[in-house]
Chains A and B, each alone.
Chain A
Amino acid sequence: MMRLPRFEYRVPRSIDEAVAAKGDAPPDAAYVAGGTDLYPNMKRRHQEPGTLIALHAVEELRRIEPREGGGLAIGATATLTEVRRHPRVRADHPALAEACRLISTPILQNMGTLGGNLLLDTRCNYYDQNYDWRKSIDFCMKKDGTICWVAPASPRCWAVQSADSVPLLVALGAEVDLAGPGGERRVPVSALYRDDGILYLAKQRDELLTRVLLPAPDGWRAVYRKVRRRGAFDFPVLGVGAWARFEDGGTVAEARVVMGGVGSAPEAVEGAAAALVGGTLDDASIEAAASAAWKAGRPLDNTDFSISWRKEMIRPTVARALRDLRDGP
């Protein structure tokens, strides 16, 4: 049986206590909420934090509540099930409910949290393996080794951003609150990520993601589409979040098309957005946006499916997402 390494376990009851505990703990300490990403990684010895700061007892982290001036604030440790079933999420943010529904399995959604999904470790077929397997390839630079087997000449790690909620939240223009030793700050979700498979988060090590802030409904619509092998369990090999704000009789005033699963960070395709703005999501502009996304997407051979097929899927998937945006899913 695969077993966890040993750890010290601290159970703070407030955000302040949690941040303080993290600051006091050794540098390898990690926050843990649902544990659905961290514990498998610990069992495979990717991560072996000697101290865990467990967040389950921090009640304020779990709330889903309306924001002043509209929109929703979702506590980082609200489970994916709680998020997708929340009446306000379903009413105002059905695309987020859908993205959460598409994450792994219903059972895992009972444990995994929205904050955890945002911070999901990047994934790679050369990395998401047990210790002995990784030893047999002489490890990789993301853990214990020096080389990136996906692109051996590369100086960087190409592990893949694989969280379903992320491309959608970036497309929505959502923000997150980060609580750190120096106080709280608010950043757009898009600013949370770095294009690097190892240092994939722009968050400071001790900062705690506390809330995800969703915009108020205001003439926009959003959708999320996912490509994967099976209808459950699988991470996206491509996730497309699309958002558009409409004016007048359906003219696109603003748009964002964001891809996940193709690189180490979510990828907003400016060209795709540009192709949509000013039009009415007619077939021609959708086709142009899909082409722009196809040009931009450069998946590497480190997830399920072949890279050529994953690349090819960008065009129909983006087009379908945009048609969903126009016609309803």
Chain B
Amino acid sequence: MRTMSPAEPVQLRLTVNGEPRVVSAPLHHTLLEVLREELGLTGTKHGCELGECGTCTVLVDGAPVLSCLAVPAALEGREVTTVEGMETAAGLHPLQQAFVELGAAQCGYCTPGFLLAAMALLDESPRPARDEIVDALGGNLCRCTGYLKIYEAVELAAARMEGEDAEPAEETLYGEA
């Protein structure tokens, strides 16, 4: 049985955004703190640190988790994806692109959490119905958008990821006539 002492930093192997990382951090620091303070990945934000807002959402082995309540010592060898891991050399992830086009990021603070929760949703359900999106994003609070542009962006990205040449609806961009 492995026992880790609070007296010394814990050494961990994690895959972060596809890259192997060896992390040395105080044992009681959460994944959120390690990502931001040890790895410099400040794209992961925080809104309460108590699991009450979804802002700090990252993916662990593809599933959204709250990094503020994840102790890295429990994640040895696992794969962590943050917002910084979404774009590739080819450009933005379709979700990121759709968020850009529709203004789904206003202040942008909750955005990384929403993007990752949405990415996990599309991984499981490539063309989610609106209700599925509402459910899947129910663990992320946003104070700016009223969520609607986020839903529309997820739908737009889903269509494009399925190979459609989708464009935003006229009323999404310009309002109803």
Residues of A near any B CB (own CB < 8 A):
1-13, 17, 21, 35-36, 39-40, 43-44, 54, 56, 81, 104-108, 110-111, 231-233
Which of B60-81 touch A at CB < 8 Å? 63-66, 68-71, 73-74
Once the chains bind, are A107 and B139 in contact (CB under 8 Å)?
A: yes
Task: Flag whether B88 is at the interface (Cβ < 8 A).
Answer: no
1/0 per residue B46-65: CB within 8 Å of A? 10111110100100000111
Once the chains bind, are B139 and A104 in contact (CB under 8 Å)?
A: yes
Residues of B near any A CB (own CB < 8 A):
1-6, 10, 26-30, 32-33, 46, 48-52, 54, 57, 63-66, 68-71, 73-74, 117, 135-136, 138-140
Given A11-B1, A105-B54, A232-B138, 5 other A-B residues pairs in contact with their CB atoms under 8 A: A9-B71, A11-B2, A40-B51, A111-B69, A233-B52
Q: List 16 A-B contacts (CB under 8 A).
A: A1-B32, A1-B46, A10-B2, A12-B1, A35-B71, A39-B30, A105-B54, A106-B117, A106-B138, A107-B57, A107-B64, A107-B139, A110-B63, A111-B65, A231-B138, A233-B139
Please judge, given known A-B contacts A107-B139, A108-B51, whether A35 and B70 are in contact too, CB under 8 Å: yes
How far is it, in angstroms, between the C-alpha of A111 and the C-alpha of B74 when the chains are bound? 12
Closest Cβ of chain B to A76, distance in Å, is 16
Interfacial chain A residues near B5, Cβ < 8 Å: 8
How far is it, in angstroms, between the C-alpha of A137 and the C-alpha of B52 when the chains are bound? 23
Closest Cβ of chain A to B85, distance in Å, is 17
How far is it, in angstroms, between the C-alpha of A284 and the C-alpha of B6 when the chains are bound? 61
Out of B33, B52, B69, which one reaches A39, CB within 8 Å? Answer: B69
Out of B2, B48, B138, which one reaches A105, CB within 8 Å? Answer: B138
